[in-house]
């Protein structure tokens, strides 16, 4: 006998939409820390390739190193106001902050990474418009990092209550590399949670069912049916 789905309607209200506020703080910290750590590893590989090509790359890599090193420590120990300020603006042994590096070394891999780091710092400082600006100025062929960047953009838009843009970026994060089962299923689940939080019930159901059908090894699969049942979908 074919499975029957019963979908219980969930009304969207201001109260439901407001649940998106603070969403990134609850769901994103593991991903942003992983993404930040990954970019530092990728930076080493990209930097090595670039150092033998352009003198400007050599200078940029040298200039960003102290700020990047402090940022790396923050991904392990947590972000705080003083450290964020040093990474962004320099000082106290850091000759140049990432804002200046992004401006002075545009077109280099270090300048590109500076935008990612600035975006992450502004996200933690709750300066969401600046976070969006810098994250949009960053791009990479490293799919895990690019996916995390899109997810962070979703976080910033969610805090600004631009829920359609937020959900679009969460889904964009999941689409970067669909062969990466772990990261893709994480991004899909986050998108589903956000869709539910903002009253987009059908979209949440579709995203959860996609995880169940296409990513059987996902760590979320054990709870997929429970999540679907909460949304009114029963076998």
Does 155 map to a domain?
no
Residue recorded with tokens 């890599």: 61
Residues 6+ positions from 53 with CB-CB distance below 8 Å: none
pLDDT attached to residue 37: 53
- 46, two tokens: 């990209």
* Tens digit of pLDDT at every position of the chain (235 positions): 444 443 333 334 444 445 555 665 665 554 455 455 555 544 554 454 555 457 788 888 889 989 988 988 888 788 889 999 999 999 988 999 999 999 999 888 889 999 999 998 998 898 999 999 999 999 988 888 899 899 989 989 998 989 999 999 999 999 999 999 988 998 999 999 999 989 999 999 999 999 999 999 988 888 898 889 888 888 6
- pTM of the shown model: 0.82
> Are 170 and 125 in a shared domain?
no
How many angstroms separate the CA atoms of 130 and 90, rounded? 18
How many angstroms separate the CA atoms of 225 and 235, rounded? 9
> Are 133 and 26 in a shared domain?
yes
* Residues 17, 198 contacting (CB under 8 angstroms): yes
Does 50 map to a domain?
yes
DSSP element (H, E) containing 73: helix 55-77
Does 102 map to a domain?
yes
The residues with which 91 forms a beta bridge, in sequence order, are 94
Q: Which domain holds residue 90?
A: 17-139
pLDDT attached to residue 4: 40
What DSSP state is assigned to residue 176?
S
pLDDT digits (tens, 9 = 90+) for 16-69: 445 555 665 665 554 455 455 555 544 554 454 555 457 788 888 889 989 988
pLDDT attached to residue 209: 94
* Residues 138, 90 contacting (CB under 8 angstroms): no
> Are 200 and 107 in a shared domain?
no
Does 148 map to a domain?
no
CA R_g for the chain? 20
pLDDT attached to residue 76: 78
DSSP element (H, E) containing 119: helix 109-124
Q: What is the dihedral of CA 9, 12, 16, 18, to 10 degrees?
A: 160
How many angstroms separate the CA atoms of 187 and 169, rounded? 10
> Are 133 and 37 in a shared domain?
yes
pLDDT attached to residue 22: 60
Q: How far apart are the first and last CA of the chain?
A: 11
* Residues 6, 234 contacting (CB under 8 angstroms): yes
pLDDT attached to residue 53: 53
> Are 66 and 108 in a shared domain?
yes
Please report, for the domain that includes residue 229, its CATH number: 1.25.40
Count CB atoms within 10 A of the CB of residue 179.
Answer: 7
pLDDT attached to residue 174: 96
> Are 100 and 188 in a shared domain?
no
């Amino acid at each position: 006998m074919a499975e029957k789905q019963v979908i219980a309607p969930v009304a969207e209200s201001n109260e439901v939409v407001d649940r998106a506020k603070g969403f990134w703080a609850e769901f994103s910290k593991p991903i942003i820390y992983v993404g930040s750590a990954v970019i530092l590893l990728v930076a080493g590989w990209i930097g090595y390739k670039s150092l033998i090509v352009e003198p400007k790359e050599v200078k940029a890599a040298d200039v960003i190193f102290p700020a990047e090193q402090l940022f790396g420590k923050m991904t392990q120990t947590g972000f705080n106001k003083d450290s964020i300020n040093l990474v962004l603006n320099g000082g106290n042994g850091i000759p140049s902050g990432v804002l200046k590096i992004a401006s002075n070394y545009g077109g280099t891999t270090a300048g590109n990474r500076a935008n990612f780091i600035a975006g992450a710092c502004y996200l933690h400082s709750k300066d969401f418009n600046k976070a969006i600006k810098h994250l949009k100025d960053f791009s990479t062929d490293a799919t895990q990092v690019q996916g995390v960047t899109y997810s962070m953009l979703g976080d910033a838009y969610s805090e600004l209550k631009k829920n359609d843009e937020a959900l679009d970026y969460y889904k964009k994060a999941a689409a970067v590399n669909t062969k990466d089962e772990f990261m893709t299923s994480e991004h899909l689940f986050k998108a589903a949670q956000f869709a539910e939080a903002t009253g987009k019930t059908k979209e949440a159901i579709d995203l959860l069912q996609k995880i169940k059908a296409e990513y059987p090894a996902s760590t979320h699969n054990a709870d997929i049916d429970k999540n679907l049942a909460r949304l009114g979908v029963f076998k």
